[in-house]
Structure 1
Amino acid sequence: MDIQDYKSWVIDFYKKRNWYQYNPFIRIGFLTEEVGEVSRAVRSLEIGRDRPDEATQPEHVYKENLMEELGDVLDNILVLADKYDISLEDILTHHQMKLEGRFKE
């Protein structure tokens, strides 16, 4: 799927469910929560879970969970970019220029 098509789809999806209207401060809270869930998913993949009330799962289950959580992070980033009318292309170009300028080879 093309990222621009996905961005349009996710913005529409969030708007239809009244999830889009939250202000950026609230959206950052959602993003932070999702980043924490990514951390937990990576931990599960890298060192496992060590809670006695959690059964060990096959690796593909942990990877699927990581994919879901990364998608949640991406959605929140796309919504924030849309709220500030920042294109994905501008984000990518700006970030690439920053990294190339900072880490010249």
Structure 2
Amino acid sequence: MDIREYQTFISEFYKKRNWYQYDSFIRANFLSEEVGEVSRAIRTLEIGRDRPDEVTSEHNEQLENLIEELGDVLDNIFVIADKYDISLETIMLSHKEKLLSRYEK
């Protein structure tokens, strides 16, 4: 599946479940929450949680959790972009141009 197909899929998936209607302010809040969960997943992988009330999971389970949380971050980014009718290709190309013009002089 390419990035455009996935953006369309995720927008339709969210619309079917009535998750799409949240405005961009709320969606940005969801994105922030998911970024925090990515941070927690990375911490678990890198230094552990060091909490006696939590069961330590295997490395492959920790990686699966990170993949899941990164997917949640991406989904929120896709939906925000879709709400403004911006393709991810446009974002990537624009950002690439910015990086090259700023750092490849």
- Structure-1-length-normalised TM-score: 0.96
Amino acid at match of 2:96: Q
Alignment match, 2:21: 21
Runs of 4+ residues deviating >2 angstroms: none
Alignment: residue pair count: 105
Q: Note the 1:1-105 alignment, pairs <5 A.
A: 1-104=1-104
- Structure-2-length-normalised TM-score: 0.96
Computed over aligned residues only, the root mean square deviation of the Cα atoms, in angstroms, reads 0.9
Higher relative CO (Cα under 8 Å, sequence separation at least 6) belongs to 2
Other structure's SS at 1:22 match: coil
C-alpha deviation, 1:49, in angstroms: 1.2
C-alpha deviation, 1:7, in angstroms: 1.1
CA distance in 2, matches of 1:47, 1:102: 34
Other structure's SS at 2:50 match: coil
C-alpha deviation, 1:87, in angstroms: 1.1
Name structure 2 gaps, 5 residues minimum. none
| Percentage of identical aligned residues | 65
